[in-house]
Amino acid sequence: DEITRDTLLLLRLSPLSPLTVVIGKMKAALLYVMIFLLSSLPVFLALVYLESSGSIDIAGLIPSGFSSEALEACRLAWQTLMENYWRVGAWVGVLFTTCLVFTSCGLCASSFSPSTGVATALSYGLALLFTAGTLSVLLFSSRINPSIQACFLMFNPFIAAMEITLDNSLASRLPSIMGNRLWQNHLIIFSALALLLLVISAFRVHYLFKEQK
């Protein structure tokens, strides 16, 4: 936006570093996403509560004393809570990292593109590659090794969310990679990818600042 609006010089003259500029734009883009994500959290909690088989002792989450019986009861209460609500944490993790990567893609594309339209097309193309493009491996599932299928599908946020939601999903029938389930690898890869895209964007902004001198 600064390139098309001719405000890059003003931004360069400010005391802000390229990394601060990139992180600031990232925060602004993620603000509305986080609002929707936090507003959907009660729905996730309600669904898990309705489907949970065992009751959770809320009072038992805080130990009533320091005796071995009280600490064991507290441990069992936390274990029951984790067994019933781990899906909520996994869902939130997948949603957050997906939003983080897609926002980073748009930010990185914007730093390299001459106009906003080109940046928008590139960011939507990358999002389509991660969502629909990785699913194309299923068209040749009979000819492709299951491990290779798992390597492609762990980039897909929908497949990761399905594995968390359903115990007998497609992803659960694929072999584990590096000893992790597909959604766990998805979180690791998308977190690393978001960090990489932010670093690339910061270096690009640093180059643009130097280029204006």
Q: Domain total for the chain?
A: 1
Whether 190 contacts 95, CB under 8 Å: no
Q: Domain of 181?
A: 2-211
CB atoms within 10 A of CB 171: 22
Residue with tokens 């072999």: 175
* Residues forming a β-bridge with 180: 177
Q: Which two tokens stand for residue 84?
A: 């019933």
What pTM, to 2 d.p., does this model score?
0.78
For the chain, the straight-line distance linking the first and the last C-alpha, in angstroms and rounded, comes to 19
Per DSSP, the residues of 7-35 read -HHHHHHSS--HHHHHHHHHHHHHHHHHH
Return per-residue pLDDT of the chain as tens, 213 residues.
Answer: 666 666 666 667 777 777 888 888 888 888 888 888 888 888 877 777 776 666 666 666 677 777 777 777 777 777 777 767 778 888 889 989 998 999 999 888 888 887 778 888 998 999 999 988 888 888 887 788 888 888 888 899 988 888 887 777 777 777 778 878 888 899 999 999 999 999 998 888 888 777 654
Question: How far is it, in rounded angstroms, from Cα 174 to Cα 163?
Answer: 10
